[in-house]
A and B are shown apart, each in its own frame.
Chain A
Amino acid sequence: MQLIDCPWCGCREEIEFSYGGQAHIPYPDNPAELNDTQWAHYVFFRSNPKGVCAERWVHSAGCRRWFNALRDTCTYHFIETYRIGESPSFTSASLFPVTESQVSVPTEAGDRKTQ
């Protein structure tokens, strides 16, 4: 039962929030150009790191805003929350390992352009 620091509402109880999986996985620019493997990686494959990872959360019982968070999956503790379109103050290449799933690596964290 953590407190999560909603970038709009401040610290609120964990139960007010919903988890949205790994952050910064942009929708592919042109899905039709991807082969089945690339598409499968977009649809199904997400990092599962033991340690800090960037995730998406939504303050579902509050302001209904999605935001991003850096969280330690070992302690569960939130290191930082930041608004969509913002970059975390803590950036490290290790947080965003370039993998096959990331068919387009975000130039700036949180920036997701498509179509």
Chain B
Amino acid sequence: MTQQYRTPTGGHITRDTALSFEFEGTLIEGYAGDTLASALLSNGVHHVTTSIKFGRPRGIAAAGSEDPNGLIQITTPIPEPMQLATTVELAPGLSAHGIPGQGTLPTEPDPARYDTAHLHVDLLVIGAGPAGLNAALEAARAGARVALVDEQPLPGGYLLSTPCMIGGANSTEWIAQTAAELAARAVIHLQRTTVFGLYDDGLALAVERRTDHRGSDAAPDSLRQRIWRIRAIRTIVATGAHERPIVFADNDRPGILLAGSARTFLNRFGVRVGDSVTVFTTNDSAYSSAFDLHDAGVHVGAIIDSRLVIGTEWIEGAKIRGIPLHSGSVVTGTSGDNRLTSITLRRFNGTSFGTAESYEADTLLVSGGWNPAVHLYSQAGGMLRYDERLGAFVPHREVDAADVAASRSGTTFVPHREVDALRRPLPRSHEKFVPHTGVDGLAIAGSAAGKFGLREALDSSHKAVREALVDLRLAHSPSRPPEVEEDRDHTPGAVLWFVPSDDPHKLTTHFVDMQRDATVADIAHAISAGLRSVEHVKRYTTIGTAHDQGKTSGTVASGIVAEISGEKMSSLGTTRFRPPYTPVAFAALAGRARGHLFDPVRVTAIHDWHIAHGAEFEDVGQWKRPRYYPRNGEDMHAAVKRETIAARNAVGILDGSTLGKIDVQGPDAAEFLDRIYTNIMSTLKIGSIRYGVMCGVDGMVIDDGTVLRTEEDRFLVYTTTGGAARVLDWLEEWLQTEWPELRVYLSSATEHLVTFPVVGPRSRAVIGELFPDLDASNEAFPFMTWRDTKLANIPVRIARVSFSGELAYEVSVLSWYGLELWTRLIETGAKHGITPYGTEAMHVLRAEKGYPIVGQDTDGTVTPQDLGMSWVVSKKKLDFIGKRSFDRAANRDDTRRQLVGLLPDDPTKLIPEGSQLVTIESLDHATVPITMDGFVTSSYDSHALGSTFALALLVGGSTRLGEKINAVVNGELLPATITNHVLFDQEGVRRDG
């Protein structure tokens, strides 16, 4: 095609860079600087897609992100669904097609990269139109650190569509000069960047599109989008306004678009939107569009104005250009299939219609007035009020923050004034200023504030920025906003939501939300159905729920509801604006938290050794722990069997470095631990070790582990791997908030030390050999004691604890030497058959001994008594955390589940963990629900027992030892005998070797 609708000159496009692109399979040409929409229109293509429900042809209806119609799917270079032709920049290699309301997710992987960047500024200005540029410049001149963010490729906003003189220059020059000065003053100026949300304390989130405009010239794996998290002390919202349509019969045909958008296409892109144009307006703004188009050589057939009173200036302007002006008239219908061919108008006095008159036209420009783009302001908690004169919701700036609080909640707990007085406490921060809270510190300027004249827009921005500078305590010299022409004395616009009829139920082609194919008739039906709330009506009709989130339809819909139901607009209100302002790609929000960076992988000092020795890993919290080390194609069962045999019969070694370690120091350390643990720690002797259990205040077990007394006033507390951070937090909470009088200090030592249990009958030999200075004999180094020694002059601590029932020495050293220690233990142990084992073998060994794992054999409903550990609950202590809860009714129930062992009758059958236990003898003909007596928490195949076995939490378990119970496995009953939970070496003879 030939761009036959391109003007000979003008527009902010690069005419010497032609770009061809593919739309609906046809190659078309446009220029660099075009959007897909402007390039299509330059070739006379209005019809972009069909509507979602009715399949009606739809065209470009606006020039920006408010367009409800021009949905496309990009197929190359970067496939992406649900884009707007009006916001996609023309780029090399672009191909796209229209979509009827639903996109298709590309199935190929997304090779692009995304990231997040944080920015801290004094002032954030959102929108680089005249108000925003002026505000940014003033602030930068006063020395503020400023960020200026705008969603378009070019700064200028409204000025790009509306050439004029400003600051003594033409607007194009003024924009360039201003941008140059901003750059010189190190303003962070981001174009192609949409602020999509405003949050508390001056936080703005924006998405920057970095490469799409370069199309196939950009590497597929380049940084495509960046989320900016901008923390600003003050923010000025200068986001402009969206033009409002008027709803009338068949108002959705391709060729019908907003009047201001036509002017944008003409002046910014050098595109005439048609050959033969009519204009339908309720206000003055559309006249400029009509005149600009006429002056660009477009035939303007008529201007239809719903008002009776129209300014002389406009009447004269139309007369000079020979454009017929129909005042007090409305468009009542249109014709055309894939493009508008004619329109019908009638005189209308608010109640009755005159006779019909028709104009042939391929294009109809519509203006129902303007809605300030208050989305961000509303998101941040700014209140809106309905302005009768503008027919729009505008910022309600008289409202203070306390009223915002009240409006959000309905009621506040304390009188508003008191809250307000307290709202700005003195900052304890080293920061100079306290950022604003909610709408405090948020100003709105320009047409976003309802200031539609250029001069009043600049004035409002000037006022906003000067207030911000005062708040920032930045001196500024007296200045005035750039000189512009006096604003024209506007004749008030009429508020006309839709062209009515006797029965709104019949208005089935009066489209309110074109994207949803929702009409005035739908609204009328909703109201007839008894609905009064705008929220209900919108849900009934689905208005405002589509891709554009009702940017053009929201206010109009409220207006129509008000009109049909007879309610006042101000009492109906509008629905709450919710982030994001425009849709944001999931991948952009994910940033670089993808793949292996999705969540930290925590590893121990010997992780590489585990990998080199073929370990299979298990995720435990964020840690990677070796689960088993298969050799020569072993499966898990074989590897675990080999590992457990080694630990029971020779010697095994485990990387236990992930266990939490907390150093507890201070004169009251013993007292503190007595309050925390269920048993007594204060009687522990230096050099000795005690096992302990911690409960919540509800009496349920939350963690367990061993405690080493290292000095009179010092203990080393071991926690579970998963519990390390939680337990430290728990201890700090009690210490700081409840017992600040206790002289105790807590410090984490989890990663300071590596800990390697060396386990099995030959462990003494290994330890004795590697640490010749240590007497590892049972007499010199008894069970539940620890000793310090050295390896190559490096201190090593060895503890005689056992989580397997075997003779065991847990060896700890500064983690720097972890790998050295580990390899020397392995080397030394080689002749004793030392075998590294993983968490799975560890589980088999501990379960054979009936040692529970908190979080596996407990679930937050289990007390120490339930675990058969009444011995760990002190009777002597007056109190400890959880003690009082043991006396509650539920704790005395004989229906409590208690930890027991299970031996399946068939020792080759493994009862899966999680299996439920029942007493019924057969599942055949059993009716649900079937009573469950408990469930299996741990289950393993034990070489030592020569049988499978399980641990289970069983109702009344401690009184049922020796009884039979059935586990339900794959719909079959698997009989087992209930035993003590300690199944192996009940006498505990092995621990001393």
Determine direct contact between A and B, CB below 8 Å: yes
Which chain B residues numbered 697 to 716 have a C-beta less than 8 Å away from chain A? 697-698
Name the A residues within 8 Å of B879 (CB-CB): 30-32, 115
Contact between A76 and B200, CB atoms less than 8 A apart: yes
User: Is A3 part of the binding interface, using a Cβ–Cβ cutoff of 8 Å?
Assistant: yes
Residues of the A chain whose Cβ atoms lie less than 8 Å from the Cβ of B739: 114-115
Q: In the complex, which of the residues A36, A58, A112 contacts B889, with contact meaning CB atoms closer than 8 Å?
A: A36
Question: What is the distance, in angstroms, from A18's C-beta to the closest C-beta of chain B?
Answer: 7
Complex formed: what's the CA distance from A90 to B429 in Å? Answer: 20
Question: Which chain B residues border A40 with CB–CB below 8 Å?
Answer: 888
Which range contains the number of A residues in contact with the other chain? 35 or more
CB contact between B435 and one of A11, A58, A115 (< 8 Å): that residue? A11
- Interface pairs A-B: 10 shortest CB-CB: A51-B413, A10-B429, A74-B409, A31-B884, A2-B200, A11-B429, A66-B736, A3-B201, A75-B405, A52-B413
- Report which of B429, B737, B888 forms a contact with A112, defined as CB distance below 8 A: B737
Cβ–Cβ < 8 Å partners of B884 in chain A: 28, 31-32, 34, 39
Kindly specify which of B171-179, B314-322, B417-425, B592-600 makes contact with the partner chain: B417-425
Cross-chain contact A77 with B431 (CB below 8 angstroms):
no
A8 CB, min distance to chain B CBs, angstroms:
8
Q: In the complex, are the beta carbons of B430 and A58 less than 8 A apart? A: no
Asked if B824 CB lies within 8 Å of chain A CBs, one says no
Could you pull out 24 A-B pairs where Cβ atoms are within 8 angstroms?
A: A1-B203, A2-B201, A10-B431, A11-B429, A11-B431, A11-B434, A28-B884, A32-B883, A34-B884, A43-B698, A43-B885, A49-B413, A52-B413, A60-B729, A66-B737, A75-B381, A75-B438, A77-B438, A80-B422, A81-B428, A90-B422, A92-B414, A94-B413, A115-B739
Q: Could you tell me the distance between the alpha carbons of A14 and B405 in the complex, rounded to whole angstroms?
A: 20
Distance to closest chain B CB from A41 (angstroms): 12
Contact with B along A15-32 (1 / 0, CB 8 A): 000101000001110111
Which residues of A are found within 8 Å of B887, using beta-carbon distances?
Answer: 36
B413 near A50: Cβ-Cβ < 8 Å: yes
10 more A-B contacts (CB under 8 A) besides A36-B887, A36-B889, A49-B413?
Answer: A10-B427, A11-B431, A31-B879, A51-B409, A66-B732, A75-B438, A81-B428, A84-B740, A90-B418, A115-B879
How does the 8 Å CB contact mask read for B657-697 relative to A, with 1 for contact and 0 for none? 00000000000000000010000000000000000000001
Asked whether B199 is an interface residue with its Cβ less than 8 Å from the other chain, the reply is: yes
Closest chain-B Cβ to A107's Cβ sits at a distance in Å of 15
B745 CB → nearest A CB, Å: 11
Known contacts A10-B427, A10-B428, A58-B733: A79-B419 contact under CB 8 Å? yes
Tell me, in angstroms, the Cα distance from A85 to B430 when the chains sit together.
Answer: 23
Give residues 181-205 of B contacting A (CB, 8 Å): 199-201, 203
How far apart are the CA atoms of A31 and B733 in the complex, in Å?
Answer: 19
Q: Is there contact, CB below 8 Å, between B736 and A75? A: no
B408 adjacent to chain A (CB < 8 Å): yes
Residue from A7, A20, A74, A81 having most chain B Cβ neighbours under 10 A: A74
* Cβ of B381 to closest chain A Cβ, rounded Å: 7
Interface of chain B residues 386 through 417 with chain A (CB within 8 A): 401, 404-405, 408-414
User: For residue A56, which residues in chain B have a CB less than 8 angstroms away from its CB?
Assistant: 737
For residue B738, CB closer than 8 A to chain A, the reply is yes
**C-alpha gap A51/B405 in the complex (Å):** 9
Q: Decide yes or no whether A46 CB sits under 8 A from chain B.
A: no
B979 contacts A by Cβ under 8 Å: no
Binding site for A on B (CB under 8 A): 199-201, 203, 231, 381, 401, 404-405, 408-414, 418-419, 422-423, 425, 427-431, 434-435, 437-438, 675, 697-698, 729, 732-733, 736-741, 878-879, 883-885, 887-889
Q: Are the CB atoms of B878 and A52 closer together than 8 Å? A: no
Residue pair A79, B425 in contact (C-beta under 8 Å):
yes
A14 nearest CB across to chain B (Å): 8
Return chain A residues, CB-CB under 8 Å to B203.
Answer: 1
Closest Cβ of chain B: how far from A55's Cβ, in Å? 12
A22 CA to B889 CA in the complex, in Å? Answer: 26
Does the CB pair B428–A5 fall under 8 Å? yes
Chain B residues with CB under 8 A of A53? 413
Interchain CA distance A81-B426 in the complex, whole Å: 10
Report B-chain residues with C-beta under 8 Å of the C-beta of A95: 413-414
Known: A56-B737, A75-B404, A115-B675. A5 touches B414 (CB 8 A): no
CA distance A85 to B408 in the complex (A): 32
Complex: A53 Cα to B410 Cα, angstroms = 16
Instruction: Give the complex CA separation of A114 and B232 in angstroms.
Output: 44
Task: Encode A31-75 as 1/0 by CB contact (under 8 A) with B.
Answer: 110101001101110000111110010101000111000101011
Cα distance A41–B422 in the bound complex, in angstroms: 31
Measured between beta carbons, the chain B residues less than 8 angstroms from A50 are 409-413
Residues of A within 8 A of B435 (CB): 3, 11
How far apart are B287's CB and chain A's nearest CB, in angstroms? Answer: 44
Distance (Å) between the CB of A49 and the closest chain B CB? 6
Whether A39 and B423, one on each chain, are in contact in the complex, defined by CB atoms closer than 8 angstroms, is: no
- Do B419 and A5 touch across chains, with their CB atoms under 8 A apart? no
- Shortest beta-carbon distance from A5 to chain B in Å: 6
Chain A nearest CB, measured from B730 CB (Å): 11
Residues of A within 8 A of B412 (CB): 50-52, 72, 74
Q: Is the CB of A72 within 8 A of B419?
A: yes
What residue of chain B has the Cβ atom nearest to residue A4's Cβ? Answer: B201
Is B429 within 8 A of A75, CB to CB?
no
Within 8 Å by CB of A58, from B381, B425, B675, B729, lies B729
B732's contact among A10, A11, A64, A72, by CB below 8 Å, is which? Answer: A64
A92–B883 alpha-carbon span in the complex (Å): 34
* Distance between Cα atoms of A58 and B733 in the complex (Å): 8
Candidate in B401, B413, B429, B741 with the most chain A CB atoms within 10 angstroms: B413
With A10-B430, A43-B697, A115-B675 known as contacts, the answer to whether A52 contacts B885 (CB < 8 A) is: no
Let me know if A72 and B405 touch, CB within 8 A. Answer: yes
> Provided the pairs A36-B888, A39-B884 are in contact, do residues A5 and B200 lie with their beta carbons within 8 angstroms?
no
Most chain B CB neighbours (cut-off 10 Å) among A20, A44, A50, A79? A79
Task: Report the nearest B residue to A79, measured CB to CB.
Answer: B422
Complex: A34 Cα to B737 Cα, angstroms: 21
Rounded to whole angstroms, the CA-CA distance of A27 and B880 in the bound complex is 11
Contact across chains for A72 and B199 when beta carbons are under 8 A apart: no
Distance A72 CA – B46 CA, assembled complex (angstroms): 52
Task: Write the chain A residue with the least CB distance to B412.
Answer: A51
When distances are taken between beta carbons in the complex, the residues of chain A under 8 Å from B411 are 50-51
Which one, A43, A44, A92, A114, contacts B738 given CB within 8 A?
A114
Distance, CA A91 to CA B881, complexed state (A) = 31
**Known pairs A51-B414, A75-B381; A84 contacts B737 (CB<8 A):** yes
Q: Which residues of B contact A36 (CB under 8 A)?
A: 887-889
Q: Which residues of A contact B740 (CB under 8 A)?
A: 84-85, 112
Residues of B within 8 Å of A30, CB to CB, are 879
Report the bound CA distance from A33 to B741 in whole Å: 23
Residue of B nearest to A92 (CB): B414
- Output the nearest chain B residue to A36 by Cβ-Cβ distance: B888
Instruction: List residues of chain B with CB within 8 A of the CB of A2.
Output: 200-201
Interfacial chain B residues near A6, Cβ < 8 Å: 428
Chain B contacts for A58, CB-based, 8 A: 729, 732-733
| Chain A min CB distance to B665 (Å) | 16
- B413 nearest in chain A by CB position: A51
CA distance A50 to B422 in the complex (A): 18
Min Cβ gap B532→A in Å is 26
Hey, which chain B residues are within 8 Å of A70, CB to CB? 422
Does A7 contact B408, Cβ atoms closer than 8 Å? no
A106 CB to closest chain B CB (Å) equals 12
Residues of chain A within 8 A (CB-CB) of B878 are 32, 115
Given A5-B428, A11-B429: A26 and B738 interface contact (C-beta under 8 Å)? yes
> What's the least CB distance linking A42 to chain B, in Å?
8
Contact: A65 with B425, CB < 8 Å? no
Choose from A7, A31, A49, A115 the contact partner of B428 (Cβ within 8 Å).
Answer: A7
Complex Cα spacing A92 to B422, Å: 13
Contacts of B419 in A (CB 8 A): 52, 72, 79
Residue of A nearest to B879 (CB): A31
Minimum C-beta distance from B556 to chain A (A):
31
Residues of chain B within 8 A (CB-CB) of A80 are 422, 425
